[in-house]
Amino acid sequence: MTQPPFIYLDYNATGPVCAEAKAGMTAAFDPPGNPSSIHRAGRAARAIIEDAREAVASMVGAKPTDVIFTGGGTEANALALLGIARAMGCKATLCSGVEHSSVIANMTDVDSFLPVDRNGILDIVALERRLKELPAPVLVSVMLANNETGVLQPIADIARLVHAAKGYIHCDTIQAPGRMAFTLPELGVDALSLSAHKFGGPKGVGALVLRNGVRVAPLFEGGGQEKSRRSGTENVIGIAGMGAAAKAVPKVLADTHRLLALRDGVEAQIVQLVPGAVIHGKGVARLPNTICISVAGVPSQTQVIGLDLAGVCVSTGSACSSGKVSLSHVLKAMGVPDEQTASAIRVSLGLETTEQDMNTFLAAYVPIVTGDSATSKMRS
Amino acid sequence: MPDFNSLGLPKPTAQTRVVVAMSGGVDSSVTAGILAQQGYDVVGFTMQLYDHGSATSSSKSCCAGQDIYDAKRVADTLKIPHYVLDYESTFQKDVIEKFADSYVAGETPIPCVLCNQTVKFRDLLKAARDIGGDCLATGHYAQRVMGEGGAQLHRAADPDRDQSYFLFATTKTQLDYLRFPLGGMLKPEARAIARKLGIAVADKPDSQDICFVPTGSYTDIVQKLRPEAMQSGDFVHVDGRVLGQHKGVINYTVGQRRGLGLGGEVEPLYVVRIDAANRRVVVGFKEDVLRDAFKLTGINWLGAGETIPADGFRAHVKLRNTQTPIAATVLPADVHGAANVVLDTPAEAVTPGQACVFYEGERVLGGGWIARDDAKAFVPHNMRKTHAKVAAEV
């Protein structure tokens, strides 16, 4: 049985490796050296890493020396939250209630979570109050773009508040590259996290990028690579792929207006065709590629399964590695009722998404959520 | 009229979507394998029922036990789509809590039947319908036979593997949608098919314990949920004498002889009755445990008509899965969903919380739950297996 062609609408989970990254990685296969070695083979491997470092730094307007390659986004977030807190002597950590689990998991107590409004935007007043209550310095972590809803946070405003309170601000920007223009100085943050596979690179490689002067303690000790901030022989091939993907980001950014039109078109049709459909975060600034919809009634996992069987890949927002689905903590934090949350799915678009794809998605989705799936299957 | 396929549906196999409930064990894997090989549009569903990390008392984890990964690997081998459905909260509410409540009330529950009744044949079955499934197949050893009045439940061809006892609560509507492709097969045949299909779990041992009690100690779970069931109380002889102190009602099952720690009587003592409300465990001699009449609640009727015939019926009944059926008369009770059973010969194995299942030859006519009876007590025979293991044979 061959797999039928399918439509991929889960770019926020991951996306295809772009041609540039493939070429970059292919070239990086050959040099045999360890980047730490003195000899020419080692230097060749080192050069690959440093080229990639420059490309990643340039993508986010930072200095190459402030880029630390990691084994992915989760590690970058952990390094930021644990490493900066230790190196800079932070007394407490705070984050929004809509952060990714890799941030939430590093919070030490229940008081660490800051409330958000019904669109998922951080309650600035609550942040200000907490900063006053807590001894300085406090480390605050707020994401730029939410992975489930695409909703953007006013990071620059948040950073100003945190800095006024002598705190540090980390920003999980993992969903942002290629979907919106941003730089570390514009955001005004002390550190930001990246994951290569969210912007056309390979899985298993990421980076923590620091504002110049911010220090970070390593998560584990070893050979002292990455200026003693992340030990272990560098993932040369993965890093080469990340660098090449970073160089290709401007091309992806140029496509966002097309995705925005596709997204708005399909959202308008859903609202028209499906009574009770809610688009979460509609009306506030969002990534151009992300749709989070719920229609109380049919459970999310049934929708995702039904769509998969129809050849359309979407997601429930937060599935664990077994494929088990839990209620989205993001929508919960936004105050969405459980019965609505239980029926939410995420549709996320990318470079290869076409209008035809969106029409196929709609044709499969609408009968599932309007309870017409059995008859639609018979008709087909 | 179109031809009927091997699952009794009027469609070509390729256009028949069969959802298979895959546990990761050999039987449900073979079920999926056979149907995939016959060319059906097979979709595998595996239920996430509890947090495996916390059940095995390691740190709380997001994810599943090894069985779910086994099921995924089998689905990969068979090249069928496979999905994990999260039923943790409903399993906790409808199976684990009820299991604990039943022990606290002095009964010996069968969680596997509760699970079939709620999570499996209510929720999973609905999900199968929602994704356009034409039927739901499981790896149970039982047979679904089409009769004049619709689908009937029959014993499996292999008497050693027969699981019809655990399926007594399946409703007619559920049975209509269900299929048991292994029902006509012997267990060694299933393993041989697994090897032929290259299924990785072909040599995996059969599961023995209750799935959510991986350590085999059901008392730990009950203790955590209902600590009151661990409170000690009196061992009372049927003649009224207090013989000593017991370690909490959950540690005893009607019929239990071993582990009571009571000596000095002329004959061995058995648990005759558990009076949970007064924290008393009543013990007596073997003749005290014989019983020939008892009441059932929660009747499920699978025979002709809507419910048990008004003038009752004759059947052979099983009071536990491994028991030889006993001839009996079953009469409807005044209360809806209840019945009275009169055995032709007294039995020792009348344990509240266990099922009494009605058989007419090979056919299952339904059954009900053995109710507590505070008037006179009764004891199952000296069991070779622990009741927990009996309960888990599904």
Instruction: Verify that A139 and A219 share a domain, yes or no.
Output: yes
Question: Could you say which of A234, A249, A264 is where a domain stops?
Answer: A249
Query: What are A196's two structure tokens?
Result: 């290569």
Instruction: Verify that A24 and A124 share a domain, yes or no.
Output: yes
Question: Could you say which of A207, A224, A249 is where a domain stops?
Answer: A249
Going residue by residue through chain B, which has 394 residues, state the pLDDT in tens, using 9 for 90 and above. 568 899 999 999 999 999 999 998 899 999 999 999 999 999 999 998 887 655 444 333 445 578 888 899 999 999 999 999 989 889 999 999 999 999 888 898 999 999 999 999 999 999 999 999 999 999 999 999 999 889 999 999 999 899 999 999 999 999 999 999 999 998 788 889 988 988 877 777 776 667 787 676 788 888 888 888 888 999 999 988 999 999 888 888 888 888 888 877 778 899 998 998 899 999 998 888 889 999 999 999 999 999 999 999 999 999 999 889 999 999 999 888 999 999 999 998 789 999 999 999 999 999 999 998 753 333 333 322 333 333 333 3
Instruction: Verify that A263 and A116 share a domain, yes or no.
Output: no
Residue B246 backbone phi and psi in degrees, to 5:
-105, 175
Instruction: Verify that B18 and B131 share a domain, yes or no.
Output: yes
Question: Could you say which of A199, A229, A249 is where a domain stops?
Answer: A249
> Does the beta carbon of B83 lie under 8 angstroms from any beta carbon of chain A?
yes
Q: What is the pTM of this model?
A: 0.85
Report the residue of chain A nearest B86, measured CA to CA.
Answer: A324
Per the structure, the count of domains in chain A is: 2
pLDDT of residue A323: 60
B132:A320 CB<8 A? no
**Residue A49 pLDDT level (bands cut at 50, 70, 90):** very high
With a cut of 70, say whether residue A271 has pLDDT above it: yes
Burial degree of B239 (CB within 10 A; 0-12, 13-18, 19+): exposed
Any idea what DSSP says for residue B229?
G
pLDDT tens digits along A289-342: 999 999 998 889 899 999 999 999 999 866 665 566 678 899 999 999 999 999
A2-6, A243-247, B128-132: which is most confident = A243-247
A302:B131 CB<8 A? yes
Is B211 annotated as catalytic? Answer: yes
A305:B132 CB<8 A? no
Question: Could you say which of B268, B287, B306 is where a domain stops?
Answer: B287
Query: What are A7's two structure tokens?
Result: 């439509």
Domain extent for A315: 7-15+254-379
Shortest distance between the Cα of A295 and any Cα of chain B, in A, equals 15
pLDDT of residue B99: 92
B43:A309 CB<8 A? yes
With a cut of 70, say whether residue A359 has pLDDT above it: yes
**Which CATH number belongs to the domain containing residue A348 in this structure?**
3.90.1150.10
* Section A236-253 average pLDDT: 97
Q: For the complex shown, is ipTM > 0.90?
A: no
Instruction: Verify that B191 and B238 share a domain, yes or no.
Output: no
Has residue B369 been placed in a domain?
A: no
Any idea what DSSP says for residue B114?
H
Q: What's the distance, CA A210 to chain centroid?
A: 18
Instruction: Verify that B128 and B238 share a domain, yes or no.
Output: no
Domain extent for B253: 231-287
* Section A349-369 average pLDDT: 95
**Which CATH number belongs to the domain containing residue B190 in this structure?**
3.40.50.620
Instruction: Verify that A138 and A195 share a domain, yes or no.
Output: yes
Residue B110 backbone phi and psi in degrees, to 5:
-120, 90
B131:A306 CB<8 A? yes
Is A171 annotated as catalytic? Answer: no
pLDDT of residue B390: 36
A324:B48 CB<8 A? yes
CB contact burial A353-377 (16+ within 10 A = b; e otherwise):
beeebbebbbebbbbbbbeebeebb
pLDDT of residue B381: 36
CB contacts, 8 Å: B49 with chain A: none
Question: Could you say which of B287, B309, B324 is where a domain stops?
Answer: B287
A324:B130 CB<8 A? no
H-run or E-run covering B41:
strand B41-48
Compare CB distances from A322 to B68, B81, B129 and report the shortest one's residue.
B68
Instruction: Verify that A168 and A121 share a domain, yes or no.
Output: yes
Report the residue of chain A nearest B47, measured CA to CA.
Answer: A324
Report the residue of chain B nearest A374, measured CA to CA.
Answer: B132
Has residue A1 been placed in a domain?
A: no
> Does the beta carbon of B62 lie under 8 angstroms from any beta carbon of chain A?
yes
Instruction: Verify that B185 and B245 share a domain, yes or no.
Output: no
pLDDT of residue B191: 87
> Does the beta carbon of B14 lie under 8 angstroms from any beta carbon of chain A?
no
pLDDT of residue B394: 39
Shortest distance between the Cα of A242 and any Cα of chain B, in A, equals 29
- Residue closest to A347 by CA, chosen among A375, A308, A309: A308
**Residue A1 pLDDT level (bands cut at 50, 70, 90):** very low
**Residue A27 pLDDT level (bands cut at 50, 70, 90):** very high
CB contacts, 8 Å: A324 with chain B: 48, 62-64, 84, 86
Per the structure, the count of domains in chain B is: 2
**Which CATH number belongs to the domain containing residue B279 in this structure?**
2.30.30.280
Has residue B91 been placed in a domain?
A: yes
Has residue B349 been placed in a domain?
A: no
Compare CB distances from A302 to B68, B79, B127 and report the shortest one's residue.
B127
Q: How many CB atoms within 10 Å of residue B76? A: 12
Instruction: Verify that A223 and A194 share a domain, yes or no.
Output: yes
> Does the beta carbon of B11 lie under 8 angstroms from any beta carbon of chain A?
no
Instruction: Verify that B91 and B135 share a domain, yes or no.
Output: yes
**CA within 13 Å, CB half, B102:** 25
Instruction: Verify that A352 and A220 share a domain, yes or no.
Output: no
Has residue A312 been placed in a domain?
A: yes
* Section A86-114 average pLDDT: 94
Instruction: Verify that A268 and A237 share a domain, yes or no.
Output: no
B86:A324 CB<8 A? yes
Instruction: Verify that B17 and B83 share a domain, yes or no.
Output: yes
Has residue B60 been placed in a domain?
A: yes
B131:A322 CB<8 A? no
Has residue A42 been placed in a domain?
A: yes
CB contacts, 8 Å: A309 with chain B: 17, 43, 81, 131-132
Strands B313-318 and B326-332: antiparallel
CA distances from A119 to A4, A269, A283, B183 (A): 37, 21, 9, 53
Has residue B25 been placed in a domain?
A: yes
pLDDT of residue B386: 34
Inter-helix orientation angle B26-37/B187-196, to 10°? 60
Instruction: Verify that A311 and A207 share a domain, yes or no.
Output: no
Share of chain A above pLDDT 70, in %: 94
pLDDT tens digits along A168-180: 999 999 999 999 9
pLDDT of residue B210: 78
Has residue B340 been placed in a domain?
A: no
Instruction: Verify that A33 and A93 share a domain, yes or no.
Output: yes
Has residue B360 been placed in a domain?
A: no
Compare CB distances from A305 to B62, B79, B83 and report the shortest one's residue.
B83
Instruction: Verify that A206 and A270 share a domain, yes or no.
Output: no
Instruction: Verify that B47 and B127 share a domain, yes or no.
Output: yes
Has residue B263 been placed in a domain?
A: yes
Instruction: Verify that B44 and B128 share a domain, yes or no.
Output: yes
Instruction: Verify that B185 and B282 share a domain, yes or no.
Output: no
Instruction: Verify that A213 and A259 share a domain, yes or no.
Output: no
Q: Tell me which residues of chain A, numbers 293 to 312, contact chain B at a CB-CB cutoff of 8 Å.
A: 298-299, 301-302, 305-306, 308-309
Q: Whole-number mean pLDDT of chain A? A: 93
**Which CATH number belongs to the domain containing residue A117 in this structure?**
3.40.640.10
> Does the beta carbon of B79 lie under 8 angstroms from any beta carbon of chain A?
yes
Has residue A2 been placed in a domain?
A: no
